[in-house]
């Protein structure tokens, strides 16, 4: 793993750098997809920007509230560029809320906007997996395989790379519109559903799984629920199109 990269007197945190690259590439792909769907690309970029900034600030503040005593002792640490000192769930909720408010203000159509975001989300998922690999997070279960990596005192599945490959396949599917009708919101649901399906399958190779009572892996249960919800929405959103085809 390579959590830090030294460039002269500077030390860069490679997981954070990978996430920044993911945001940049994802935003660029979202803008291109917005143009293909005849949306205003600048509005899509601003939606991502405001949602991301609000999410990061919210995630940091939520984490700071949780560990208030440490931040009172050292207030400047509130501005540290450390991804591990964020509250992901709080940041996700706040970021989505701000993005929704911005989209409503700009009167962006829901389904085309979601489809414009789909390839960017898939690209970010690749960067997210790479960030985990660089930081040694989301590590795999012990394995004796030719491609196993040595991490945390044992040879393990490169589960982060498995996830990166899955995300890359999902990106190809949505970028080429292999399974969805552009602008109908289906490609976004495919990113969510296929990502959930990949997590359900790849969780078996993880060594850091949260186990619930009964021996069930929490991520697999949540993944199955997200996959089911995505499939239901795909069915609902494609039903009018199917009806139109039958009538015609």
Per-residue pLDDT of the chain (248 residues), as tens digits, is 666 666 666 667 788 888 899 999 999 999 999 999 999 999 999 999 999 999 988 888 888 888 887 777 777 766 665 666 778 888 889 999 999 999 999 999 999 999 999 999 999 999 999 998 988 888 899 999 999 999 888 999 999 999 999 999 999 999 988 776 778 899 999 999 999 999 999 999 999 888 898 888 999 999 999 999 999 999 998 876 544 443 33
pLDDT for the residue 248: 33
Q: How far is it, in rounded angstroms, from Cα 106 to Cα 183?
A: 17
Q: Could you tell me which residues are beta bridge partners of residue 13?
A: 4
Task: Quote the pTM value.
Answer: 0.85
pLDDT tens digits for range 178-206: 776 778 899 999 999 999 999 999 999 99
Q: How far is it, in rounded angstroms, from Cα 8 to Cα 18?
A: 20
Number of Cβ within a 10 Å radius of residue 203: 20
Q: How far is it, in rounded angstroms, from Cα 114 to Cα 187?
A: 8
* Rounded (5°) CA angle 226-231-234: 125
Q: How far is it, in rounded angstroms, from Cα 59 to Cα 212?
A: 26
């Amino acid at each position: 793993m390579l959590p830090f990269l030294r460039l002269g007197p500077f030390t860069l945190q490679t997981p954070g750098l990978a996430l920044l690259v993911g945001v940049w590439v994802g935003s660029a792909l979202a803008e291109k997809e917005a143009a293909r769907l005849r949306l205003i690309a600048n509005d899509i970029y601003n939606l991502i920007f405001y949602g991301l900034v609000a999410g990061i600030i919210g995630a940091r503040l939520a984490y700071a509230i949780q560990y208030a005593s440490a931040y009172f002792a050292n207030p400047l640490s509130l501005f540290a560029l450390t991804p591990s000192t964020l509250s992901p769930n709080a940041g996700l909720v706040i970021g989505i809320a701000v993005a929704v408010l911005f989209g409503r203000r700009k009167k962006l159509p829901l389904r085309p906007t979601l489809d414009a975001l789909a390839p960017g989300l898939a690209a970010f998922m690749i960067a997210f997996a790479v960030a985990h690999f660089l930081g040694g997070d989301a590590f795999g279960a012990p394995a004796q395989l030719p491609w196993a990596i040595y991490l945390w005192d044992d040879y393990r599945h490169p589960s982060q790379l498995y996830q990166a490959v899955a995300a890359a396949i999902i990106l190809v599917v949505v970028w080429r519109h292999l399974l969805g009708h552009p602008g109908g919101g289906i490609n976004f649901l495919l990113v969510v559903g296929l990502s959930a399906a990949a997590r359900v399958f790849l969780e078996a190779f993880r060594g850091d799984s949260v186990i619930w009572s009964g021996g069930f892996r929490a991520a697999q249960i949540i993944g199955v629920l997200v996959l089911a919800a995505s499939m239901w929405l795909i069915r609902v959103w494609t039903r009018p199109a199917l009806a139109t085809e039958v009538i015609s």
